[in-house]
Structure 1
């Protein structure tokens, strides 16, 4: 014991741990030996005492030998890949290296994994020669998105007689990220996206005038016709006009995560459908050249407001998927926080709504005024959660038909979502409806213009 303390030294603690590693067989031998020694004393049989001492000594010797064993081993874990879509397997490779000069005995290797990834993998490794290594692998798979820790890796040592087992743990952890699956969507034009593609893409001004030009220094290879002589004379070095910079069309994917708006849970729930659909829509629009951000009812915005929007689309897609991988239900009562984030001029707004009452339907209608075009996918909570006998609407809940009517009156292209619907089919339907609305508005505008000219005798 250490100076007056109540705890032992590390050596004594390790020895106690070794005695705590006695298996059922080892404890049985020890108990049998002690019982035989007691019986020999009572009965006066010295031969029985020798048998008892032998039975009791065997597990004690095994404990001491195993405690003195000094294997120097190194363990590592490699995930391939470390980010997978839901319901997709990832391969985990374990590598054990013997760094000591002596071969090891039989080793049992065990890795700790969350129960949602499957049972704990266990492997028995035969004798590993000095300087040698062994590699084993297993697969993990989860139907639920999230981040799952793997580790620590545990090494179990055992004596040849099975009297004692010791467990040594490594300290390293790895993380497997399970992101939502993404569904390929048809490349159909949506209302408000023509400004971001082809000849219709918006451009910033070339700023070629004498008064509003913003020049930059000359670089090797610049066209000499772009030299701005006034700025060159002012700065004393060659200055050229900036090139015309294309602007990406912007899109906001709004995801309603309110717990009150989504009933049920699990991979087949309405909320998981909405998360998967939001991931698919964001990935599709990024591929089409949009600058995409994810917005939730809590006001969380990814990428954040400080983002310059110049990051690579692959990096943005990875950031959005990582965010959606850990997204959970919120405790928000309404959509006001998301409405406050929408400043106006958002371009295309794609929303995935759950159950809405009249107040939240009105807030969603106000959001429409802050975007160029708006498409809403409204999940029918009753259809998703209906039991064998069916259930009624909760107090204050607006039927999905009424929700669609309110949103359409506000200018949304709104579609209902029921179990079995695919986002690809709804996406095409949304494009058709948005195109029909655009044509109708254009026709109405043309008719009004013709009527006005007729009323004024053809004068503008």
Structure 2
């Protein structure tokens, strides 16, 4: 059965494939022609000749019908895992004849599934807008460039399928956890810069550090709300604080150059994005490092990097010799971390206990995949 389907598909894409009615008419035409040859009966020749003529017309018209169609694709907006990806296509009929009974297939990557639609009638010099939505279950950057048009019109005896180029790039960002606190980030850099106020103390201060007041935005800490001004303006007002971090830079390093278990790596990507955006909301100078891209900064650039990152990718830039938050599955990589660094390790408890020596002298978190990741990232350090 699969072989027959492959043969039919090959015939459709390279030439034409007979439909059931077309195959039956072809058999009958050959039968009448053979009977006419044996009996030399004129009316049998007429029937077979008309049948062959009809088959010839039915074989030529579907391919010609598809040649006058153009396909254009609108650019795709990035989405996060769990959101729907909106795909928009335009099929334009540039001929002076209407097109009927069309099937359109968007050749998606297997991870995204399948999508198809049918067009009953497409008027001359008109455009059909096809909009559909894809559920996203896995982060990544997906590329595809083929749209297939299929028809058996006008007689329905032969199927013809042709491909057109319509390049698409879909970016699916990883999930970002809404961390309300993260000691891993909050305590970063305390040891190397004792003279700088730590972030939590700075945000709790009430005098001498408020630069201005602004309207409350979703995600702002409630402790920054200036209640007197909020009551006066009948609107929540938040204190905008002076930056007193002394130019402190926080680097979140994802150990993407080494091998990972797939589920651990996906959790590490989620953790990297969540830590980055938590630090960014805390108005810290934060950057992301991966083996392939090196240091990356900026919300969109970081999300795109995390969408595309893979385990065991080629090394493009060495790890900077600065304190960082290191996300890894390789416990041995913690040994060479710069002083003042923190680590987040995906490893079983027995392995961690047996190797808990000098390389684990720095503070960090051990992640247990069976427990909620958000709660573990918000927990106190060892």
TM-score calculated relative to the size of structure 2: 0.73
Question: For the structure 1 residues 352 and 403, does the alpha-carbon distance in structure 2 shift closer, same or farther, using more than 3 Å as the test?
Answer: farther
Q: CA RMSD in A?
A: 3.4
Of 364, 371, 376, which residue of structure 2 is paired with 1:414?
364
Structure 1 segment 284-299 matched on structure 2, within 5 A? 284-296=278-290, 298=291
3-state SS of paired residue (1:172): strand
Of 185, 188, 191, which residue of structure 2 is paired with 1:191?
188
CA distance in structure 2 between the aligned counterparts of 1:295 and 1:125, rounded to whole angstroms: 48
Would you say the 8 A contact 2:13–2:162 is kept in 1?
A: no
CA distance in structure 1 between the aligned counterparts of 2:14 and 2:351, rounded to whole angstroms: 66
| Deviation, structure 1 residue 278 | 1.0
| Deviation, structure 1 residue 300 | 4.7
Question: For the structure 1 residues 293 and 174, does the alpha-carbon distance in structure 2 shift closer, same or farther, using more than 3 Å as the test?
Answer: same
3-state SS of paired residue (2:100): coil
Q: Which has the higher strand share?
A: 2
| Deviation, structure 1 residue 321 | 1.8
Matching residue of 1:94: 89
CA distance in structure 2 between the aligned counterparts of 1:174 and 1:274, rounded to whole angstroms: 28
Structure 1 segment 375-394 matched on structure 2, within 5 A? 375-380=342-347, 382=348
Of 328, 333, 338, which residue of structure 2 is paired with 1:353?
328
Would you say the 8 A contact 1:186–1:427 is kept in 2?
A: no
Matching residue of 2:309: 327
Of 274, 277, 294, which residue of structure 2 is paired with 1:301?
294
Matching residue of 1:179: 173
Question: For the structure 1 residues 67 and 116, does the alpha-carbon distance in structure 2 shift closer, same or farther, using more than 3 Å as the test?
Answer: closer
* Pair 1:341 & 2:319 matched: yes
Structure 1 segment 25-64 matched on structure 2, within 5 A? 25-64=21-60
3-state SS of paired residue (2:49): helix
Matching residue of 1:454: none
Question: For the structure 1 residues 17 and 278, does the alpha-carbon distance in structure 2 shift closer, same or farther, using more than 3 Å as the test?
Answer: closer
| Deviation, structure 1 residue 364 | 2.2
TM-score calculated relative to the size of structure 1: 0.62
Would you say the 8 A contact 2:98–2:121 is kept in 1?
A: yes
| Deviation, structure 1 residue 415 | 2.0
3-state SS of paired residue (1:126): strand
CA distance in structure 2 between the aligned counterparts of 1:17 and 1:350, rounded to whole angstroms: 53
Of 134, 147, 170, which residue of structure 1 is paired with 2:164?
170
Structure 1 segment 16-165 matched on structure 2, within 5 A? 20-69=16-65, 72-78=68-74, 82-119=77-114, 121-165=115-159
Which one has a bigger Cα radius of gyration? 1
Would you say the 8 A contact 1:249–1:291 is kept in 2?
A: yes
Would you say the 8 A contact 1:378–1:415 is kept in 2?
A: yes
Please list the CA deviations of residues 83-113 of structure 1 after superposition, one character each: whole Å capped at 9, or x if unmatched: 1222322121222233333322222221110
Would you say the 8 A contact 1:180–1:279 is kept in 2?
A: yes
**Does 177-186 or 88-97 show the bigger shift?**
88-97
| Deviation, structure 1 residue 158 | 2.2
Please list the CA deviations of residues 227-257 of structure 1 after superposition, one character each: whole Å capped at 9, or x if unmatched: xxxxxxxxxxxxxxxxx99864311112223
Would you say the 8 A contact 1:342–1:367 is kept in 2?
A: no
CA distance in structure 1 between the aligned counterparts of 2:50 and 2:247, rounded to whole angstroms: 83
Q: How many residues align?
A: 324
| Deviation, structure 1 residue 270 | 1.1
Where relative contact order (Cα < 8 A, 6+ residues apart) is larger, the structure is 2
Would you say the 8 A contact 1:71–1:100 is kept in 2?
A: no
Please list the CA deviations of residues 262-309 of structure 1 after superposition, one character each: whole Å capped at 9, or x if unmatched: 33x3xxx1111111111111122122222222234x475122xxxxxx
| Deviation, structure 1 residue 116 | 0.9
Of 271, 277, 285, which residue of structure 2 is paired with 1:283?
277
Structure 1 unaligned spans of 5+: 1-15, 202-243, 304-312, 384-397, 434-460
**Runs of 4 or more consecutive aligned structure 1 residues displaced over 6 Å after TM superposition:** 198-201
CA distance in structure 1 between the aligned counterparts of 2:125 and 2:43, rounded to whole angstroms: 47
3-state SS of paired residue (1:127): strand
Would you say the 8 A contact 1:108–1:156 is kept in 2?
A: yes
| Deviation, structure 1 residue 173 | 0.7
Question: For the structure 1 residues 399 and 21, does the alpha-carbon distance in structure 2 shift closer, same or farther, using more than 3 Å as the test?
Answer: same
